Structure formats: C-alpha cells, structure tokens
Structure 1
C-alpha cells in the first residue's frame, strides 16, 4: 500500500495552496500513520518505509558549512536521508522531517550533479542514484509545512517523563522564573 498523492499536488497548477489548507492536508496524510509510542522520528521513518515498501535509512554526517544540512537520496534499493550530525537533536529531527516531507509530498527535484555527489558520497555509483538537490520555493514550503506537521504528530506520541530533550516541569518553571514570567506549568 502506497501513500496517496496529496490533493495540493494536483491543484498546484492553479497557484500556491493556502497555508491553512496545506497544513490540513499534511495532517490528513499523516493521520493514517500510527504515532510511535516514543515519538521517535527514526521509528516513524521506518513506518513510512514499511508503508512504501522501501527502506528509509537515516545517515548522520558531519557536513561542511557549504553543504546542505540535509539531503534526500532515492536509489533503486531504497531511500536515504542524510542529516547534519553536528547539531542539536531537535534540529536533527527537523532536518529529517523536512527531507521526509519532500518524500511524502512526492517531490522529484533535480538529479544531484556529479560534483555534489562526489563530495557527499564518493563511494556511490552515480548511475544508481536519483538524488534530490534543487526544489522550487513551493516545494520547499510544502516540505517545511510537512516537517512541522510531522514533528507535531510525533510530539503527541512522546511520553511526558522528563528526558534530556523533554524538560521537566521544574526546568520549565525555572526558565520562566528567570525571565520574570509566570510558571505555565502551575495549576
């Protein structure tokens, strides 16, 4: 079973889709997925891969400042999302969600040119690669909205127990006190 083509892709010829409708359509597309109990984007990518019948491998990589922070690569054997490893966990999740957004939105993009391919993946045969590099502003907007919806979707699945990336009520209260604001966690 594949993922349905979002309505906005069919309507794009009429002009940009209003943001409210785009968010609603992204949410509708994601409603068919189970939220991983831990809200982990890696588990969500595995679920999307299962639905597509293709592996989606997530590859952390230290990228240069001139490189993109994320890349979606599609080969005959599966899909790969490369993301910046030298950044915060929330930023990594956003990069992954954005690249996954391109995949879920059915974006095609341009083939990665030989120079970029050689720099990022010197050991990959370019004839086996259908890479994404250049997107229109509309496609970037769609991927960014999809990323926001994916992250909101996953946040609902996260446990409420404190973790390094999920601060406790005491941590939140301390930050608000230091800013001279009322504690939003107080009953």
Structure 2
C-alpha cells in the first residue's frame, strides 16, 4: 500500500493529508486535541480519526515535538488508508468548543481498548513505511555514462543497501 501511495516530494504531512483526502474523495479536517482539554491537562489520546456524513476528522496531540506530532498524524492517516473501522460521529465539530463533545463521545465509544491491536500494528507499520523514504531519501544516481554504468551493474543499489544513502 505504501508503494502505491504517491508520497509528496519533498515530503510534507500537510501535502500527504491532501493526497489522502483526494484519494478518499472526502474533506479531511485536522483538530488539535489540546483545544479539547483544560489548560495544563494532557489529552486522553495521542490521535484519533472519526468521520461524519460530510467529512473525515483527524484529532492529534500537539503537546509534543514536531516530528512526534507528524508521526501521530501519519499514523491516523494510515487508519484511513488501511480501511480500518472509523468512528462515526452524529454531530460534526463545527465550532472549537464542539471538540470537547466529540472527544467525550469518542472516548465513551472507545472504552478501555480502542482500536484492535491488529489495526494499531497495521497503522504503525504503514506510518513507518511512509516515513522511511521521506526521512531517508535515496541519493539520486550519477549523471551521464557513469549513471548508466551504475544502473547496469546495480552499483548504486548495493552501495545504498550496504552503507545507507549518502
């Protein structure tokens, strides 16, 4: 699945969100979980995806580092991409204060376990597969005759496999 997904170059989580929304044919709205909690309180979840009849919603923890926040968002996108069961909300969060109502409803639906561990592992694996080429880009082949020779001999591929990208 990660191979068939055209990752944006250069990679950006924002552009990946647009790609997933286009692929699903639905608007994707991102909400910070921080807005839904009291000042100084940690959100009960790191991330969550839900849908209504009009849009998909992705809630994410933003009281963390930027790379961790991006990983949370990509993990939640992976649930959409894998076709996992997505929580259906009767009332979309149209106003910022609605986030608290939505999180309360979702938290009640989740119970103590949330997604199955199989779905969580799948989403985590896909998120890692998406991030791997984004964070470790392959060095482009050499130009001209040298590039042709490298390709014919598999030199570049072997060097990258053995020593990593330069």
TM over 0.5: yes
Shift of 1:122: 4.9
| Alignment gaps of 5+ in structure 1 | 1-28, 159-183
TM-score normalised by structure 1 residue count: 0.55
Cα contact 1:110–1:135 (8 A) shared by 2: no
* 1:58 paired residue among 30, 50, 60: 30
Over the aligned positions, Cα root-mean-square deviation in angstroms equals 3.6
| Alignment gaps of 5+ in structure 2 | 139-162
Relative to 1, partners in 2 of residues 1:49 and 1:109: Cα closer, same or farther, differing over 3 Å? Answer: closer
Cα contact 2:43–2:61 (8 A) shared by 1: no
Q: Aligned residue pairs: how many?
A: 126
Q: Which moved more, 1:58-67 or 1:89-98?
A: 58-67
Say which one has the larger Rg.
2
Cα distance in 2, alignment partners of residues 156 and 37 from structure 1? 12
Cα distance in 2, alignment partners of residues 56 and 66 from structure 1? 21
Alignment pair present for 1:98 and 2:75:
yes
In the other structure, the counterpart of 1:45 is 17
TM-score normalised by structure 2 residue count: 0.61
